[in-house]
Chain A
Amino acid sequence: MIIAELEFRADMTTASEDRVIGLWATPFLHFVLDEHETYCADLKNLFVHAQGSDTLAQGGGAATWLRENIEISINAFLERWAEAEIDGFTLTGRALVHGHGVYQPLRNHPDAYLSGLYYVTAPKDLRDDNHRYDADTNALSFYDPRFGMNMGAIAKDPNADMEKLVRPEPGVMTIWPSFVDYFMHPNLSTQDLVAYQFNVVVKPVS
């Protein structure tokens, strides 16, 4: 084997006949909901008192606002990426209240088509002073579903980064395909994390 350094050329331009074909990308929706401050206190109060139950189904005020925005986001996702011919979808969810130290282990949601999480509150303070700078309290990490693709990758190439990190902020909405593995980092704060987590089951046209 002859290892030699590849020389770059300053005059090189992209040839018109070159074609880069991007295949099998994984779609991901991530944005901050407008008016989230208006409903933050009501949602926090609602979820803290109704952990684990599908509180959005009860309707009313902030719950209705969040449910409508989740449905709008799901429809946008389905229109822009899935283009699936469906006969509606079912939304199920639960309130999350994570006290200090609580996290969600690596997982995916095999019985759903899309999954999502909405941050109501996102405490960033650290209760203890021993944590390393790489602690991403309450963040969501998503992992490249192309298992092993990063193993031979080098810095800056499109396969090098296997992790997509979403830092927690109040009002952040994320929706992703349910087969994607994710990890919710531990809450290292003195305060509770409050969020709403949901699954979308679509009904295909028969």
Chain B
Amino acid sequence: MSSDPWAQRFAQLWATHIFERKLNAHSENDAALSNLILALDSSNDDMTVDYKGVDFLSRPDPAIAWLRESIDETLRRYLQACKITYPIRRDIQAWPNVNRLGDYHGPHNHGWSYLSGTYYVQLPEDNAAAGAMHPAAITFSDPRYGAYRHSIAPDANEQARHTFYPSPGTLLLWPSPLTHYVHPNHSNDIRISISFNIVLEWTNDYAG
């Protein structure tokens, strides 16, 4: 118990939670995922753009089965952390991304979803950050519009962005309304990831 009376008087409200995991056994599956995605990419010039309606996780491949179960396991852990014990009915819609030199994903969020996430299969190693540029990284924006403009450096609102530098095997999970973007790839090496939306089917348990 803290002896500081002020510690009990302060609350931190409405934090935005991002869940980061390093998946076990990723090294055994990343090569297979990479090969599969590059094969798909070679047969469809717009594979990364045509993500709507793609059902990547339904493909009969052991590496994809492993990824689907890993996403489910991540969702279980997220729900456990929230102490949510009622039944969840969900679908996972996933699509692969290949970013070559200069490719990026502009700021966006994911409508009609509960949680969104990305699994990182392959990332360029020679993408050193330079100033405000963080090549191939992913950056999230503070959803409290206006908080940043109100800040006085170096208070806690000064940083309106948070950037992750994932490595192969990393899985990130976040609330779907959260605006994010992927910085341009400044490397000749390709960046491969698999993004997904977790979509819920309504049950009355969700209303509390």
- Is B34 close to A, CB under 8 A? no
Q: Which residues of B contact A23 (CB under 8 A)?
A: 15-18, 140, 142, 162
Min CB–CB distance B188 → chain A (angstroms): 31
Given A25-B12, A26-B144, are A20 and B17 also a contact pair (CB < 8 Å)?
A: yes
**Are B19's CB and A18's CB within 8 A?**
yes
List B190-208 residues whose CB lies under 8 Å from chain A: 199-201, 205-208
The docked-state distance in angstroms from the alpha carbon of A84 to that of B151 is 9
List B140-165 residues whose CB lies under 8 Å from chain A: 140, 142-147, 150-157, 162
The docked-state distance in angstroms from the alpha carbon of A172 to that of B97 is 53
Q: How many of A's residues come within 8 Å of B, CB to CB?
A: 59
- Is A65 close to B, CB under 8 A? no
22 contacts between A and B (CB under 8 A): A3-B199, A5-B87, A5-B89, A6-B90, A14-B81, A18-B21, A29-B9, A76-B6, A81-B10, A81-B156, A84-B151, A85-B152, A113-B152, A147-B143, A149-B14, A151-B177, A152-B114, A153-B175, A154-B84, A157-B82, A177-B157, A179-B147
**B contact residues, range:** 35 or more
Q: Which residues of B contact A151 (CB under 8 A)?
A: 177
**Are B21's CB and A17's CB within 8 A?**
yes
Min CB–CB distance B41 → chain A (angstroms): 24
List A136-154 residues whose CB lies under 8 Å from chain B: 142, 144-149, 151-154
List A24-61 residues whose CB lies under 8 Å from chain B: 24-31
Residues of chain B at the chain A interface (Cβ within 8 Å): 6, 8-22, 58, 72, 75-77, 79-91, 93, 113-114, 140, 142-147, 150-157, 162, 175-178, 199-201, 205-208
Query: Residue of B at shortest CB range from A28?
Result: B11
Q: Which residues of B contact A18 (CB under 8 A)?
A: 19-21, 77
**Are B21's CB and A15's CB within 8 A?**
yes
**Are B14's CB and A145's CB within 8 A?**
yes
**Are B15's CB and A25's CB within 8 A?**
yes
**Are A22's CB and B17's CB within 8 A?**
yes
A-B contact count (CB 8 A): 196
**Are B208's CB and A160's CB within 8 A?**
yes
- Is A19 close to B, CB under 8 A? yes
Q: Which residues of A contact B113 (CB under 8 A)?
A: 152
Residues of chain A at the chain B interface (Cβ within 8 Å): 1-6, 8-9, 12, 14-15, 17-31, 76-77, 80-86, 113, 142, 144-149, 151-160, 164, 177-179, 202, 204
The docked-state distance in angstroms from the alpha carbon of A149 to that of B109 is 11
Top 9 A-B pairs, shortest CB-CB distance: A155-B208, A25-B12, A25-B15, A154-B206, A22-B15, A146-B143, A31-B9, A145-B144, A84-B152
Query: Residue of B at shortest CB range from A108?
Result: B146
Given A20-B17, A113-B150, are A146 and B9 also a contact pair (CB < 8 Å)?
A: no
**Are B152's CB and A159's CB within 8 A?**
no
**Are A177's CB and B14's CB within 8 A?**
no
**Are B13's CB and A164's CB within 8 A?**
yes
The docked-state distance in angstroms from the alpha carbon of A139 to that of B107 is 38
**Are B10's CB and A27's CB within 8 A?**
yes
Min CB–CB distance A14 → chain B (angstroms): 7
Query: Residue of A at shortest CB range from B162?
Result: A23
Partner of B146, one of A30, A86, A142, A145: A145
**Are B76's CB and A20's CB within 8 A?**
no
The docked-state distance in angstroms from the alpha carbon of A153 to that of B175 is 8
Given A12-B76, A155-B84, are A21 and B18 also a contact pair (CB < 8 Å)?
A: yes
Query: Residue of B at shortest CB range from A177?
Result: B150
Partner of A144, one of B13, B205, B206: B13
**Are B176's CB and A152's CB within 8 A?**
yes
Query: Residue of A at shortest CB range from B80?
Result: A12
**Are A149's CB and B143's CB within 8 A?**
yes
Query: Residue of B at shortest CB range from A142?
Result: B13
